[in-house]
């Protein structure tokens, strides 16, 4: 049970870091500035539900999707590193 809690906490922290709700809150409030609070709640609930569905689908079928396109975990990691490097380079150039 202890290893399950540890794994669940690790997964939660990973999702928390990826979704970054602290940095995305001002963006959400800016995009919905003219909406009333009920509409904001509905939009937030819909976004939360869609995020959950996407996470469940890719958690359940991620390996199948990778196999379908012939992507290995190593190549995915390399491409992710290249993508992060390109984004960092673009940010350094002031773009």
DSSP 93: T
Give the chain's mean pLDDT: 91
Quote the pTM value.
0.62
What does the alpha-carbon distance between residue 77 and residue 14 come to, in Å, rounded to a whole number? 16
pLDDT digits (tens, 9 = 90+) for 44-58: 999 989 988 998 898
Q: Which tokens sit at 84?
A: 């992060």
Q: What is the pLDDT of residues 16-44, one digit of tens each?
A: 888 888 998 999 999 999 999 999 999 99
Report how far residue 32's alpha carbon sits from residue 22's, in angstroms, rounded to the nearest whole number: 16
Confidence tier at 95 by pLDDT (50, 70, 90): low
């Amino acid at each position: 049970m202890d290893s399950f809690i540890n794994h669940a906490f690790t997964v939660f922290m990973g999702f928390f870091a990826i979704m970054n709700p602290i940095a995305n809150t001002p963006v959400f409030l800016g995009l919905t500035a003219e909406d009333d609070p009920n509409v904001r709640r509905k939009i937030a609930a819909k976004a939360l539900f869609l995020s959950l569905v996407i996470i469940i689908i890719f958690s359940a079928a991620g390996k199948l999707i990778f196999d379908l396109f012939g992507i290995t975990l190593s190549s995915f990691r390399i491409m992710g590193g290249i993508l992060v490097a390109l984004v960092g380079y673009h940010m350094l150039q002031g773009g």
